[in-house]
């Protein structure tokens, strides 16, 4: 299976030796869930895409420090590519920014969260179990790092996971598009680094976010969900 990673941001160059870049994080995480996957990388900030939508069996859109509602040509172009993916029926997963971009591109709404920053380990309740969610969990924990949230889902979306802090934390559209707000690809060292780097921006969210890093996450299980979804639930 060939998975196209649509890279919407980079780890700052001076820190890549320490943490790697986002595609490497996903390859490490998803590769442990499926050792037969092949990955291709497309830097969408530089407006690089496969020549045809069907060049890959599935796609994953990464996170980004940008907001999906920013007035930037590359974000508009990525939204159009998502609509092409939807029309072509190619399975695609969006993580954080990617989750929000899918929602916005297909008729939903993304806004700065009234509850502020979501950082550290967060927990979401599974409100609609799916066949590809193996192992099944009633709730799951992931590292989070976001200021924006999906405020309104697209009309065709089905809610999968929710919390009081982030009501639209995961959704599916026509069993082809999956959005997940949390970060299964992050490790705690990188999450702690981001917390300290953004301490002034985070304000009161910093201390509880840092303290939450003592909690375990379900990143391995969610990686298996993502691969199960991209494979069509097999």
Note the pLDDT tens digit of each residue in 94-137.
Answer: 999 999 999 999 999 999 999 899 999 999 999 999 999 999 99
200: annotated active-site residue: no
Catalytic choice (24, 128, 185, 196): 185
Q: If you average pLDDT over every residue of the chain, what do you get?
A: 96
Query: Residue 102: exposed, middle, or buried by beta-carbon count in 10 A (0-12, 13-18, 19+)?
Result: buried
Q: What integer pLDDT is reported at residue 32 of this predicted model?
A: 77
125: annotated active-site residue: no
Across the range 198-212, mean pLDDT stands at 97
For the chain, list the domains and their CATH numbers: 2-230 (3.40.50.880)
Across the range 161-182, mean pLDDT stands at 97
pTM of the model: 0.96
User: Whole-angstrom Cα distance, residue 192 to residue 188?
Assistant: 6
Query: Among residues of the chain, what percentage have pLDDT more than 70?
Result: 98
Cβ atoms of residues 184 and 28 within 8 Å: no
183: annotated active-site residue: yes
E strand or H helix at 61, and its extent? strand 58-61
With cut-offs at 50, 70 and 90, classify the pLDDT of residue 234: low
Q: What integer pLDDT is reported at residue 211 of this predicted model?
A: 98
Catalytic choice (10, 77, 96, 130): 96
Catalytic choice (130, 152, 183, 192): 183
With cut-offs at 50, 70 and 90, classify the pLDDT of residue 36: confident
């Amino acid at each position: 299976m060939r998975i196209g990673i649509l890279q919407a941001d980079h780890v700052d160059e001076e820190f890549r030796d320490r943490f790697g870049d986002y595609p490497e994080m996903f390859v490490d995480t998803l590769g442990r869930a499926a050792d037969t996957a092949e990955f291709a990388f497309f830097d969408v900030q530089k407006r690089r895409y496969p020549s045809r939508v069907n060049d890959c069996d599935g796609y994953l859109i990464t996170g980004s420090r940008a907001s999906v509602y920013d007035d930037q040509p590359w974000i508009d172009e990525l939204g159009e590519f998502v609509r092409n993916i939807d029309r072509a029926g190619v399975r695609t997963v969006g993580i954080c920014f990617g989750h929000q971009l899918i929602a916005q591109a297909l008729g939903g709404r993304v806004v700065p969260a009234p509850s502020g920053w979501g950082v550290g380990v967060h927990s979401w309740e599974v409100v609609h179990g799916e066949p590809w969610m193996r192992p099944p969990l009633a709730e799951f924990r992931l590292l989070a790092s976001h200021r924006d949230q999906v405020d309104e889902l697209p009309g065709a979306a089905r809610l999968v996971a929710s919390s009081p802090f982030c009501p639209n934390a995961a959704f599916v559209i026509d069993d082809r598009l999956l959005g997940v707000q949390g970060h299964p690809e992050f490790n705690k060292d990188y999450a702690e680094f981001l917390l300290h780097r953004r301490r002034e921006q985070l304000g009161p969210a910093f201390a509880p976010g840092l303290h939450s890093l003592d909690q375990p996450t379900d990143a391995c299980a969610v990686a298996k969900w993502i691969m199960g979804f991209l494979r069509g639930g097999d």
